[in-house]
């Protein structure tokens, strides 16, 4: 008997359970090697889970909308159609807990924005030219009788999304065929629930009812676990006031070129970290881990109540214009739950900016696996004493750094803030070089 279990994969280093967003295949459907069978919501993103085996989806153990621990069985795949009933019997007799005679089926997980033709981290064989479409797009294509091979996807890396199908249906005409190979078979039944939309439009959130207990989302549970993990870390905080007149002037000059203030601040921090590698380091049981790259994580609030930190990789070495374009793309894909794992778990230093909400100052909680996080408040006009003994008005913001006291001491953090302030106050133009 050749029956294989499909397990809930670990889609990130912090994931302990996953939620089934939708089954792309239905029981009895034929599945090809490397084909997406289910969309899983991890603690960071919606991911396509692919099979390494050809066969038939025999039985679904965990239905759409339900959660399962990492490593638990969520479905059975039979290599032949004749074994489908055997798989069902096996599931019913064992309560979906028995181990089939064959080895468990490995699965590959790729972000919903995964690039066609790239192999997944554990060996999935994506083929060049394979059509990539979201489950929602496939469902709409079936309902509206749209041929997906005639569409050029507008999603990340050419992925076909629901908006592409709707746009074609509204126009009532087929565009020129896209240069892709014939797609994998369209599922005979639609997914139960679509993944998050591609655009960062606010997700509908149920209104809170007094007296009601609302379960935490997967994202919120991930935040809870991370925050609890930081309790055992001894931290300290250092505050600093930075005059931002020069930075504000620079921002006004280059804002029209697509530069964001977030990118400017991340760039300033990254350049300063070049002089302070200890602030970019992290603690391990073996000692201090000095990271070779300066990757700036920036906290972003999700529409459904979660929190994610997209990463601007090598922020010290990337020009400000490219950095701003990257940041805009990261935010859009973060809110659509389409980030690749390395785009949210490779940070070495974190920024948390509440200045846009008018917050003067706050303390940020240190993320697990990092040595420091910088909390940034609003820039406000302040009356200050000038060097000539007079009074003047300056734009100033307050920043507070939280650091791991096991490896970083007060003098280290203070020196870093001093150099950061010097860069922003006296030489912000260097950030555009």
Burial 203-230 (b: 16+ CB within 10 A, else e): eeeeeeeeeeeeeebbbbbbbeebeeeb
CA–CA–CA angle 200, 205, 210 (5° rounding): 155
The Cα 403–Cα 273 span in angstroms is: 14
Catalytic residue among 59, 157, 291, 405: 405
* DSSP count for the chain of H helices, then E strands: 8, 19
The CA-atom distances, in angstroms, between 291 and each of 236, 369, 402 are: 21, 11, 18
157 is a catalytic site residue: no
Which strand ranges, in their side-by-side order, compose the sheet holding 73-78?
3-7, 73-78, 55-60, 30-31
Ramachandran bin of 158, using left for φ above 0, alpha for ψ from -120 to 50, beta for the remaining angles = left
Nearest Cα residue to 323 out of 201, 433, 423: 433
Give yes or no for a contact between 349 and 386, defined as CB atoms under 8 angstroms apart. no
Q: Please give the span between the terminal C-alpha atoms of the chain, in angstroms, as a whole number.
A: 64
Residues noted as catalytic = 405
């Amino acid at each position: 008997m050749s029956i294989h279990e499909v397990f809930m994969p670990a889609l990130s280093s912090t994931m302990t359970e996953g939620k089934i967003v939708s089954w792309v295949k239905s029981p009895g459907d034929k599945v090809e090697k490397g084909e997406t069978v289910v969309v899983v919501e991890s603690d960071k993103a919606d991911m396509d889970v692919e099979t390494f085996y050809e066969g038939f989806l025999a039985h679904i153990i965990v239905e759409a909308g339900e959660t399962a621990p990492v490593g638990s069985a969520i479905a059975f795949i039979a290599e032949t159609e004749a074994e489908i009933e055997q798989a069902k019997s096996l599931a019913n007799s064992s309560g979906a807990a028995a181990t089939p005679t064959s080895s468990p089926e490995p699965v590959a997980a790729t972000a919903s924005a995964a690039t066609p033709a790239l192999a997944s981290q554990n060996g999935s064989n994506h083929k060049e030219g394979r059509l990539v479409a979201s489950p929602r797009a496939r469902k709409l294509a079936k309902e509206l009788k749209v041929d997906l091979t005639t569409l050029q996807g507008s999603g990340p890396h050419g992925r076909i999304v629901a908006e592409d199908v709707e746009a074609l249906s509204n126009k009532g005409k087929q565009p020129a065929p896209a240069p892709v190979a014939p797609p994998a078979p369209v599922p005979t039944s639609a997914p139960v629930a679509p993944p998050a939309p591609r655009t960062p439009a606010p997700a509908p959130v149920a209104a809170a009812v007094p007296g009601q207990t609302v379960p935490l989302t997967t994202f919120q549970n991930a935040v809870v676990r991370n925050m609890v993990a930081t309790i055992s870390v001894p931290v300290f905080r250092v505050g600093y006031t930075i005059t931002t007149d020069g930075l504000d002037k620079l921002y006004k000059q280059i804002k029209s070129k697509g530069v964001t203030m977030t990118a400017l601040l991340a760039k300033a921090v990254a350049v300063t970290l070049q002089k302070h590698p200890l602030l970019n380091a992290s603690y391990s049981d073996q000692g201090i881990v000095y990271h070779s790259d300066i990757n700036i994580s920036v906290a972003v609030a999700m529409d459904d109540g979660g929190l994610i930190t997209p990463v601007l990789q090598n922020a010290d070495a990337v020009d400000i214009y490219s950095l701003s374009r990257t940041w805009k793309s990261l935010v859009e894909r973060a809110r659509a739950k389409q980030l690749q794992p390395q785009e949210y778990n490779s940070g070495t230093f974190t920024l948390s900016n509440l200045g846009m909400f008018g917050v003067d100052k706050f303390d940020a909680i240190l993320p697990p696996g990092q040595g420091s996080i910088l909390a940034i408040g609003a820039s406000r006009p302040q009356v200050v004493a000038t060097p000539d003994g007079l009074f003047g008005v300056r734009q100033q913001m307050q920043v507070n750094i939280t650091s791991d006291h096991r490896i970083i001491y007060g003098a280290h953090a203070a020196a870093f803030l001093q150099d950061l302030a010097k860069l922003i106050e006296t030489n912000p133009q260097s950030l555009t070089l």
